[in-house]
Each structure stands twice: as C-alpha cells, then as structure tokens.
Amino acid sequence: MFYLSTRGFEENLTSSQAIIKGICPDGGLYVPSEFPNISNELSNLIALDYSQLAFFILNKFLVDFTNDELNSCLVNSYECKFKKGCIAPIVNINENFFLELYHGPTLAFKDMALTIMPHLLKTSIDKNNLNKKVLILTATSGDTGKAALEGFKNINNVKIMVFFPEKGVSSIQKLQMRTQEGNNTYVVGINGNFDDAQNGVKDVFNDNEFNQKLNSKGYILSSANSINIGRLLPQIVYYFYSYTNLVKQGNINIFDKINFVVPTGNFGNILAGYYAKMMGLPINKLICASNDNNVLYDFFSTGIYNKNRKLKLTTSPSMDILISSNLERLLFEICNRDSKTLNTLINNLNNKGYYEISDDMKVKLDSFQSEYASIEEVKTTINKVFNNYNYLIDTHTAVAYCAYEKYKEKTNDNTKTVIVSTASPYKFSKDVLNSLLEMDDNDNEFEIIKTLSNITNTEIPESIKILKDKNVIHKDVYEKNNLKVSIENFLKV
C-alpha cells in the first residue's frame, strides 16, 4: 500500500508522507495504490464498536503506522471527543434510516474526520522526523473550518489558518469560527465565495517562491480539506458502521445491498462511500444529492461537468460549491487510473471551465444516481418531516431526503436506504425555523434558537449554548487575492 498522485507526475509516498503533504506538488490528489477487499471479513465486523471498526479499516490504509500509534489516535478522537455510544447513531424514521453524523464537537459531519486527522498528522510529523512546523491552510464553506480549528487547536508544531467566505456561511458558523480559542489558530474572512477561498488556498500551495520563503522560516504547508487523504480515509468507516448496525438491528441481512443518499458539495463524503463500495461493502446506489448549485447532478445525468455558471447562495451553504475537488479522485478510478486521460479533463476544466467524459467512463458511473433540491423544496421537506414524524432535520439533510424522495419516485427502488445526515438543525436554526413557521424578520440568532427549541421540543446542543458568552477573537477580512499577506501577518514572517 502506497499513495500516488492522480496526475501521475509525483513519486509514490507512504501514508504518513501523503498526510503531511496534503496535496500533490503537481496539483493532483493522493490516492491509495489499491482498495483492500474485505468481503470475506464482513461478518466479523458486525460485533465491532466504532473505534474497533475504525482500527480495522484504517489499519489497511495507514500501513506505516504502528498499532499503538493508530490506537492512540483513535483514543484521542472517537473515545474522547464524542459521548460514549453516540458517535454515529442510526435512527429509523418510518423505515428511512438517518445516519446522524453530527454529534461531534462542532455539530457537523466534518468532525468524523477532523477529530482524528490532527492526531494522524501529528503522528506523521513525528514518524518522519520532520524538523519543521506545519501550517494548515483550510478553505471552508462553514463546517470544515470550525471542525479543523477545534481538532488542531493547541497541537504542538502545527498552526492552523481558516479562510471563509464573509457572506457565504450561516451566522452560527461564523460565530463558531470567530470565537475560536487556541494559541495556534487564525481565522480570516474573505471577500468572495467558497470557490474563491478554495482557489486562493490552492494558489498558495502552488506558489513555489512563497513556499520556499515559508520553508526558510521553518514552515511547510499542509491542508485539512478533504483533498488530504487523512481526511478521506476516516470517512470510510461510518459507511461500514451504518451497514453493520443495520444488520445488528435486524433491518437487513448480511450481504444485502443498501443505498446511501449523501448531501454533496466537495464530493468528499460520498467518495468515501464509493471507496467503501470498492472495498466490498454491499452498496447498491450512492445517490448524490445537490442543492441549486447542481453541477454534480448535471455531471451524473450527462457526463459533462460545467462550472461556467453563477454560484448561488442557498440555505445549505456547506454545499454551495461549483468545483468539487474530490471528483478528481472518482475520475481517476473510472478512467482506469490513466493519468493522461485525467490530465486532459482537468486541463479542460481549468482552461474552458468544463469537460465531458468518454462513453466508457460514463458506463462506470453506474454506482451513482443524482437528484437535487431547490431552496423551496428544502423548506417544505423540513416542514413535512417534522410534522409527519416529529423528527427535526437540518437544511443539508433535507436536500438529501428530498433527493431520495425524487429518486424513489422515479425508480421505484425499494432497497433499504441510509440518509446521511450531516449537520445539527441548530447550526442552521434560522432557515430551519423558517421552514416550520412564518417568521418576522428576526436577526437575533439566540432568540431564534430558543424558539426552535421551544416549538420542536428538542434540546439545544451545549456547544451552541456556550457560544453566546464567548468573545469574538478573529475579526480580520482580506481580499480574495491577498491570502499570502494574511499568512505573513499571522506567522510574522
């Protein structure tokens, strides 16, 4: 097991080296050299708890980590940062299975990977005797930023900077980030959208001169975005975990196939599901759910990826993305790992803003289906699910559920289906509440939260309650082409 670049220009790395690098110097993404097949071991997995299952899966990929190293990473994440028995609960709502991935410290599914990834990185730095500090640069559409800040805060020899679109995140997301504590954290608002922030960060990674300057000051750059393989691998675990739980609860028989519906932005979450399928997890369809920024829906329907359109700001901001970075890893698989084909597609994307895949590649997309939900549909979905089942979902999960209903309507597919629930409704309280009742124009976030709790009779998560009394520490806003200046100011170099 080693890690290679999708674009084919780099030497192969060990897992710890790939985690340190984050993104390949040729602009590509690291991918594992193979997908270990676990079909024969599936029945042994039913009895495992989350950490044990994570050990089983990650051990196959992180082959240069010792058992002790991996175990210590798992203890510091899933054992410490989640309530016992509440890491990835699966809830049966009228035979729809909601996989709640938002019980971590920052209330979104990003915690599933970002509680462990800092420990994987720290271990990797130590293993490779790196005599440098690592500066993590993270572009965020709202949730990655906070989860990464929490995960990396106060970790020795690591500093973390987060860039978010000033006008593209919810007020709770913004407050969560701007109140971030820790002696190694810095949060910057960007005048631009998420793609501007992500492109800005990519440009910094590709700027050799700037990298050399940082190097001479003792820093190397890495990424906490899902372009880092250390983010992606831990996400494979909960696909297995939900499957084994459905077996345990008697909802399916072992080896039955199931579907997953995944609300998708950067294509990291659903790609982990695809990797699980490549490893032999019995998955029928992966249903890619988009919001109004439906580039991926178009891609799966036509084989054409076209980012030449205007980004819309929706009520599911964590999916307001036009360039889904991780799709490159899927393209790599469906072109039979032929970097030449892949580079042609990526060059077309960079130069013309679109590409079309070949018919052979289209055939290989048969694991996927896609649907999308508009802002209005998200609203009615939240309302309907709450009023019919007394179950409160957030805007992103509502995109997934609405997409699933459309899929079912079209296909009559009755395969048992897991709806991947990616955020707590309290992270997007204004839009959630707005779906349940006609609201006056109220901008007091904490009043909204209280009302939401009162009318739905649900508990306000502790980490939201305490936000109210926290100081805003990070107030800086930069222009989108000024990221380097903000970095120099933070590091004082």
Ligand X SMILES: *Cc1c(COP(=O)(O)O)cnc(C)c1O
From 32, 104, 200, 268, residue interacting with ligand X (rule: CB under 6 A): 268
Output the six-digit token pair for 439.
Answer: 């609201």
252 or 400: CB nearest ligand X:
400
From 184, 245, 269, 294, residue interacting with ligand X (rule: CB under 6 A): 269
Burial class (CB in 10 A: 0-12, 13-18, 19+), 363: exposed
CB of 264 to ligand X, least distance (A): 4
Size of the site for ligand X (CB under 6 A): 17
CB 448 within 8 A of CB 463: no
Decide if residue 138 touches ligand X (CB under 6 A): no
Which secondary structure element, helix H or strand E, spans residue 490, and what is its range?
helix 483-491
244 or 264: CB nearest ligand X:
264
Does residue 257 carry a catalytic annotation? no
Decide if residue 267 touches ligand X (CB under 6 A): yes
Decide if residue 189 touches ligand X (CB under 6 A): no
Phi/psi-derived region of residue 194, left when phi > 0, alpha when psi is between -120 and 50, beta in every other case: alpha
Measure the CA–CA gap between 328 and 141, rounded to whole angstroms: 19
228 or 269: CB nearest ligand X:
269
Measure the CA–CA gap between 93 and 421, rounded to whole angstroms: 13
Q: Which of residues 192-231 bind ligand X (CB under 6 A)?
A: 226
Which of 110, 122, 430, 480 is an active site residue? 110
69 or 394: CB nearest ligand X:
394
Decide if residue 127 touches ligand X (CB under 6 A): no
Stretch binding ligand X (CB under 6 A), from 259-267, 329-337, 356-364, 378-386: 259-267
Site string for ligand X, 420-439 (x = CB under 6 A): --xx----------------
Q: Closest Cα partner for 31 from 261, 278, 246, 245?
A: 278
CB of 447 to ligand X, least distance (A): 23
Stretch binding ligand X (CB under 6 A), from 63-71, 131-139, 264-272, 332-340: 264-272
Stretch binding ligand X (CB under 6 A), from 47-55, 103-111, 123-131, 201-209: 103-111
CB 147 within 8 A of CB 231: no
CB of 12 to ligand X, least distance (A): 25
From 264, 294, 341, 370, residue interacting with ligand X (rule: CB under 6 A): 264
What proportions of the chain, in percent to the nearest 5, are helix, strand and coil? 50, 15, 35
Is residue 69 classed as helix, strand or coil in its secondary structure?
A: helix
305-320: string of b/e by CB count within 10 Å (b at 16+)?
A: bbbeeebebbbbbbbb
Phi (first) and psi of residue 294, to 5 degrees? -95, 40
Q: Which of residues 318-347 bind ligand X (CB under 6 A)?
A: 318-319
Which secondary structure element, helix H or strand E, spans residue 1, and what is its range?
none
DSSP type of residue 191: E
Stretch binding ligand X (CB under 6 A), from 1-9, 104-112, 275-283, 384-392: 104-112
| Number of Cβ atoms within 10 Å of the Cβ of 284 | 17
Stretch binding ligand X (CB under 6 A), from 64-72, 115-123, 262-270, 340-348: 262-270
Decide if residue 146 touches ligand X (CB under 6 A): no
From 70, 108, 227, 281, residue interacting with ligand X (rule: CB under 6 A): 108
Task: Just list the catalytic residues.
Answer: 110
